[in-house]
Amino acid sequence: MTLSTQELEQVRATFPDYPARLENGRIILSPPLSLPFTPHDLERVQATFDDYGMELRRGRIMIMSPCIVNCGGMASAIARSNFGFALMNWVKTGSDHPLGYVLGRCGWILPNGDVIEPDNCFIHAERMRDYMRQNGLTKLPESYPELVPDLVMECCCCTEAETDPSSYQKAKLQMLKAMGIPVGIFIEPEIEQTVTVYQQGQPEMVLRDGDILTIPELLPGWELPIAELWET
């Protein structure tokens, strides 16, 4: 689902000092001066429009469709849910102790200062504990942690497949791979029903019905038949 001119005007009325425009169905909010937006600025805008997905890219704030079922169509919502449930269930029960955290729509500060908010991600419990210890935290951080997840999943919206060929999400995964993220996954549930896997030191791998997604280097023993992503 793309954002509308009415939503653009709402953003402009709320933040009149910030230039805003529609671009590929998203609202791009630019800083009023030459200084780029910071993660703190993103948190302030997110608090005002908390139903919307947001990211900080190259000093600008990108506002995306609300996190609701019809964002991207029912097939996208089902695929996101099935992937997250399958991974979360295995992470919690696949060993004597939970291996880590499976999170959806959670912001992460990257080494270049950008903030991403993937559809789903996984981070090892040990890495999160180290981050909490280094920052004097006794519980999971409430603000964006300065961490790159171990796995990021993006699910294509039907509007992007029709008008943008998923270029934004794929470019994000390629950027994360360049930053050293171990695994990126792109799910296209609407047209081709494929899963593209990005891994360090390996070429892109495209999976279809009949294939099984495995990530032995990161999640040894986990298997997800691709066909299960589309099941209702």
Tokens of 72: 């991207």
Q: What is the pTM of this model?
A: 0.86
Per DSSP, 36 falls in state P
pLDDT of the residue at 164: 55
Beta strands in 51-99 (DSSP E): 52-57, 60-66
**Minimum mean pLDDT among 92-96, 122-126, 154-158: which range?**
92-96
135: tokens are: 């920052």
pLDDT digits (tens, 9 = 90+) for 89-117: 998 876 656 789 999 888 999 999 999 99
pLDDT digits (tens, 9 = 90+) for 16-73: 999 999 988 889 999 988 789 999 999 999 999 988 989 999 999 999 887 544 455 7
Q: Rounded distance, CA 202 to CA 179, Å?
A: 15
